[in-house]
Amino acid sequence: MLKVAKLTTALAIGMLIGTVPVTQAAASATNDRCSEMDYSQGLCAKAGVADGAVELGATTEVPASGGSGSSNNSADGVSFEAGAPVEVVDTVGESWCDLQRLPCVPWTPPADAATGPVTISDIATFRPQPPTAGMQPNQWMIVGLATNFYANASAHVVDGTLFGGTAQVRFTPIAYNWNYGDGTTATLGTAGTTWAKQKIAEFDPTPTSHAYDTPGNYTITLSVTYAAEYRVAGSSWQNVVGTLTIVAPPLTATAGHATTVLVDKDCIANPTGIGC
Amino acid sequence: MRLPNLVRAAGGALLLALLSGCAPSDASTPPEPIATFVAPYATDEEALAAAEEAYAEYVRVSAEILLEGGADPERLGDVVVGEFLESSIVGLRKFAEEGKTQTGTSIVGNAELQRYSPTSGPRELITIYVCRNISAVDVLDSSGKSIVTSERDDSSIMQVTFDYNEPRDALLVSDQQLWSKGKC
């Protein structure tokens, strides 16, 4: 009882003098402490405000699957996975890249591209909406607690022309491939969403959450695999052979241990204060 | 008749109040402090000034050891205490074994008091934020090659915590953490 009463008093005093507790993500190497020796060498991890930033535009390399030659175009962004790869490199792949105005990976068409069913290569002029990745908390994680990652990607229809007539292509996300940057990856069937939309508390595990074991800076990459269907002149939706994988702009974030500090003003009153 | 009733009612109310613990009582007497600790600084300003002085000494002694390639790291015991002292000495011994040396001088910039807790005992008495600039500092391996990582910022804010050593009437560094990028 006495302890509770004392705690209440302490809280009341804290509120009276306007102290505001702020939780920080504190990144650390093996030890939070920073000796002069480590500091001089640049070996200390920042315990306070992380200065990571979200990078816009994909920078993760996607290995070409079955393609050869045009390694000068081996940048990032979009990769194809067509039905049955053969040795021949088709130039349609590159034109697809040009049309999409996206960094692109050379690809190999299915063997029956010329005579068989409609493939991904046939719908090259249809540009899908690129996915984006989101995370909570934004740009930082607490070691051992769930970080909620989610993809912003949904089924959508794109208008265009196919075989000389108007047509529509419907892209449907079927897999969300996460590379968490800590050596683990996951392929999920669900995009996930925010904690608030799931009506659960922050740091609760979600079907798409991931927990980091070690403090550090991480780059998290999402790629979304789409299936496609097409229809021409009011016909029913027809399947398109192959899938399309698009890489979202990677997220960079810092994992650390949580530290609570007391500050005398909030971030509005003191925007340059610690943790603001 | 009325007055005694009122008195009785008032007495009852007082008794109830006492029973329910609403009235002040001897139970709220603060517990005896574990050890008698007299705060060495009267004000935050005094505490900050003492911490700045102690930190300057810490930086001076550390630099002295590092400039001599990690020789006699036990000297750090004059300015550092606790686990931080132990881990620092272990690190400096390794520094010496590997034949590393440090060159250049660092700058200690402005400091700001994070907290001074005069009533909580000598441990972790004061924490400050202090700006450091180590742009002129280099660390060389035994072949004379710089081993400073590319991540190092020229200027940073450090969070430094001090214990108070009563017999020596001195502040000793018990923790230092790189807090954020700084400018000084």
Identify the pLDDT of residue A2.
Answer: 34
Burial (CB < 10 A; 0-12, 13-18, 19+), residue B39, is middle
The answer to whether the CB atoms of A47 and B63 lie below 8 A apart is no
- Structure-token pair, residue A45: 């991890």
User: Per DSSP, which regions of B32-106 are E strands?
Assistant: 101-103
Q: Of B39, B83, B168, B179, whose CA–CA distance to A51 is shortest?
A: B179
Q: Nearest CB to B178: which of A37, A47, A274?
A: A47
Task: Report residue B86 as tokens.
Answer: 């132990």
Looking at residue B95, what is its pLDDT?
Answer: 95
By CA distance, what is A5's nearest residue in B? B28
**Gap from B1 CA to chain A (nearest CA, Å):** 42
Q: Taking all residues of chain B, what is their mean pLDDT, rounded to a whole number?
A: 84
Most confident of A23-27, A124-128, B11-15, B158-162: B158-162
For residue B175, the model assigns a pLDDT of 94
Minimum Cα–Cα distance from B89: chain A residue: A35
- Rounded to whole angstroms, the maximal C-alpha distance in chain B is 104
Give the distance, in angstroms, between the CA of residue A24 and the centroid of all CA atoms in the same chain. 23
pLDDT at B42 over 60: yes
Q: Does B133 touch chain A (CB under 8 A)?
A: no
Cα–Cα distance, A209 to A199 (Å, whole number): 15
- Reported as a pLDDT band with limits 50, 70 and 90, residue B139 is very high
Give residue B34's pLDDT: 52
Q: Tell me the three state secondary structure of residue A260.
A: strand
**How would you classify the pairing of strands A140-142 and A251-263?**
parallel
Evaluate if residue B29 carries a pLDDT over 70. no
CA nearest B120: which of B80, B173, B164? B164
The whole-number pLDDT of residue B1 equals 42
Q: In the prediction, which pLDDT does B31 show? A: 55
Residue A11's alpha-carbon distances to A6, A7, A17, A184, A259, in angstroms, are 9, 6, 10, 42, 18
Helix (H, G, I), strand (E, B) or coil at A210: strand
| Subunit contact B180:A39, Cβ cutoff 8 A | no
A272 touches chain B (CB under 8 A): no
pLDDT at A251: 93
- A251-263 and A20-26 beta bridge pairing: antiparallel
Question: What is the rounded CA–CA span in Å between residue A29 and residue A244?
Answer: 39
Contact check, Cβ <8 Å, A274/B129: yes
For residue A35, which residues of chain B lie inside 8 Å, CB to CB? 62, 84, 87-88, 91-92, 176
Ranges in chain A, pLDDT < 70: 1-31, 48-116, 233-234
Our CA angle for B79, B83, B86, nearest 5°, is 70
Contact criterion met (CB < 8 Å) for B148 and A40? yes
How far does chain B reach from its first CA to its final CA, in angstroms? Answer: 82
A51 contacts on B by Cβ (under 8 Å): 180-181
- Check pLDDT > 60 for residue B6: no
What is the amino acid identity at position A166? T
ipTM of the complex: 0.78
A212 residue type, one letter? Y
Residue of A nearest to B149 (CA): A42
DSSP state of B78: G
Between B171 and A26, the higher pLDDT residue: B171
Question: In sequence order, what are the residues at sequence separation of 6 or more whose Cβ sits closer than 8 angstroms to the Cβ of residue B181?
Answer: A46, A51, B153, B155, B156, B157
- A42 residue type, one letter: G
H or E element at residue A220 = strand A216-232
pLDDT at A57: 28
Amino acid identity of B94?
K
The answer to whether the Cβ–Cβ distance between B151 and A33 falls below 8 Å is no
- CA gap A47, A33 in Å, rounded: 9
Query: What's the pLDDT tens digit per position in B82-111?
Result: 999 999 999 999 999 999 999 999 999 999
CA dist list (Å): B93 to A29, A37, A39, A80: 20, 11, 16, 55
- From chain A, the residues in CB contact with B88 under 8 A are 35-37
Enumerate long-range contacts of A61-68, CB under 8 Å, 24 or more apart: A62/A105, A62/A223, A62/A245, A62/A247, A63/A105, A64/A105, A64/A106, A64/A107, A65/A105, A65/A107, A65/A108, A66/A107, A66/A108, A67/A93, A67/A105, A67/A106, A67/A107, A67/A108, A68/A106
Query: Which position has the higher pLDDT, B96 or B24?
Result: B96
Q: Name the residue among A35, A42, A46 with its Cβ closest to that of B88.
A: A35
Question: Which residue from B132, B150, B177 is facing A32, i.e. has the nearest CB?
Answer: B177
- What is the spatial distance between Cα A137 and Cα A112, in angstroms, rounded to a whole number? 47
Q: Which DSSP letter does residue B50 get? A: H
Residue keyed to tokens 């000495």: B89
Buried b (16+ CB within 10 A) or exposed e, A109-125: bbeebeeeebbbbbbbe
pLDDT of A103 reads 44
B62 contact A CB<8A:
yes
